[in-house]
Amino acid sequence: MSEFYAGKRVLVTGGVGFIGSNLALRLVELGAEVVLVDSMLPAYGATLRNVEPVRDRVRINFSDVRDRHSMGYLVRNQDLIFSLAGQVSHVDSMTDPMTDLEINCSSQLSLLECCRSGNPGVTVVFASTRQLYGRPRYLPVDEDHPQEPVDVNGINKLAAEMYYTLYHRVHGMKTVSLRLTNTYGPRMDLRSNSKGFAGIFVRRALEGAKIHVYGTGQQKRDFNYVDDVVEALLLAGSTKAVLGKVFNLGHPNPHSLLEFVETLRGLIDFEYETVPFPAEAKAIDIGDYYGAYDRFREATGWEPAVDLAEGLERTLAYYRRSGAPAS
C-alpha cells in the first residue's frame, strides 16, 4: 500500500478534523500530494493544531462541502477523494436537522455530481456510520442487517451512502463506503458535549472531573483506535475489489461503557457514576452495538491492531503532550 499512495493526488474533506487530520499525516508519510478541505466550523472540532506536523507538506483549502462551486473546482485532477466531512452529533441532528441534511446528505450528492461531471474516474471513499442500522436486531451487526435509523443523522448518512453505491452501479464511478463505529484517539474533539461519550470521558478524565455514564453503563460498543480506521480508509482507497460496496468496521473485543471507563481508570485517576439518560439522548439511544467486519477483512486483510487499553494510553499521551483543549 505504501507504493500505491506515493505521488497520488488525494483530497480529504473534513481534512482538519479528527479522522481527516490523522489520515492526512499518514498520507504525507506515504508520499501523497494532499489537499485538505475544511470549513473550520467552530463546533465541529477542526483545529489547525491537528495538522501542525504536516502544515508545510499539505495544501489546506478552507471551504465548505455545501459550496458546490468550490468543490466542483477542487475535485478536478484528484486521484482519490476521502469524503470525511460530516456533522457527527446524533443529538444535534435532532435539534438542527436541516444542517445535518445539508452536510451529510445534500453535500454528498453534490460532491458525486461534481465528480461525475468533472472527474468521473476518481476513487471516492465515503465515511459512513453504523448509526444507519438503528437499534440492533441481532449482534454482531453485519452489513445485511435492516437499516432502521433512529435519528436524522442516521437517515441522512444512509441516503448519502446509497448515493455512493448508486453512482457506482449506474454511472460506473469508483466509490466505496465504510460504516465507521466508535472511533477514538489523538485529535478527537474533546470540547464538544454532543459528539459521543469517548471524547467527553477523556476530557473529563484529563481534567480530573467526575464522569457521568448514562444508564447502567452495560451498553456495549466496539471501539476503533483512529490509526486502525486510517488504515481501513487507505485500504478501501487502494483495493479494486471493494468498489461499489459497503463495509462495516469493528473490533474483535467489544466493551461496555463501564469497561471503557474502568480501562481509562487504569491509566488516569478520576471518579465516575451512572446517571439516568437525559430524555433527548434516551429517545435516540440504540442500546448495545457491535459490528461484524469479516467482509472488509476478507476483501482487504484489515484487522484492528490496537486494543482499548493501548489506544487510550496513546490518546492520553497525545493530549498530555499537546495540552488538552479548554472545554
Dihedral angle, C-alpha 26, 28, 33, 34, nearest 10 °: 60
Cβ nearer to a copy of itself, comparing 170 with 326: 170
- Is there binding between residue 166 and a copy of itself (CB under 8 A)? yes
- Is there binding between residue 159 and a copy of itself (CB under 8 A)? yes
- Is there binding between residue 54 and a copy of itself (CB under 8 A)? no
Between 199 and 238, how does the x/- string for binding to a copy of itself read (CB under 8 A)?
----------------------------------------
In terms of DSSP H, where are the helices of 30-96? 68-74, 90-95
Which residue in 63, 78, 110, 177 binds a copy of itself (CB under 8 A)? 110
Which residue in 105, 125, 176, 230 binds a copy of itself (CB under 8 A)? 105
Which residue in 97, 215, 244, 325 binds a copy of itself (CB under 8 A)? 97
Which one of the spans 41-49, 72-80, 93-101, 221-229 is the region binding a copy of itself (CB under 8 A)?
93-101
β-strands 174-180, 220-221 pairing: unpaired
Which residue in 109, 139, 258, 268 binds a copy of itself (CB under 8 A)? 109
Place of cell 437499534: 135
Q: For residue 59, list its beta bridge partners.
A: 35
Number of amino acids touching a copy of itself (CB under 8 A): 27
What are the CA-CA distances from residue 77 to residues 8, 96, 123 (Å)? 10, 35, 11
Which one of the spans 37-45, 146-154, 224-232, 245-253 is the region binding a copy of itself (CB under 8 A)?
146-154
- Is there binding between residue 194 and a copy of itself (CB under 8 A)? no
Residue 82, SS3?
A: strand
Cβ nearer to a copy of itself, comparing 100 with 189: 100
Which cell numbers hold the place of 144? Answer: 445485511
- Is there binding between residue 152 and a copy of itself (CB under 8 A)? yes
Which residue in 264, 284, 308, 316 binds a copy of itself (CB under 8 A)? 284
**Contact of 142 with 248, CB cutoff 8 Å:** yes
- Is there binding between residue 150 and a copy of itself (CB under 8 A)? yes
Which residue in 3, 56, 170, 321 binds a copy of itself (CB under 8 A)? 170
Q: How far is the CB of 159 from a copy of itself (least distance, A)?
A: 4
Cβ partners under 8 Å of residue 323, min gap 6: none
What are the CA-CA distances from residue 256 to residues 51, 75, 191, 288, 325 (Å)? 32, 41, 23, 8, 27
Q: How far apart are CA 267 and CA 52, in angstroms?
A: 27
Q: How far apart are CA 231 and CA 224, in angstroms?
A: 11
Which residue in 162, 229, 230, 249 binds a copy of itself (CB under 8 A)? 162
Angle at 113 between CA 244 and CA 63, to 5 degrees: 110
Q: How far apart are CA 225 and CA 306, in angstroms?
A: 6
- Is there binding between residue 147 and a copy of itself (CB under 8 A)? yes
Q: Which residues bind a copy of itself (CB under 8 A)?
A: 94, 97-98, 101-102, 105-106, 109-110, 113, 146-147, 149-152, 155-156, 158-159, 162-163, 166, 169-170, 283-284
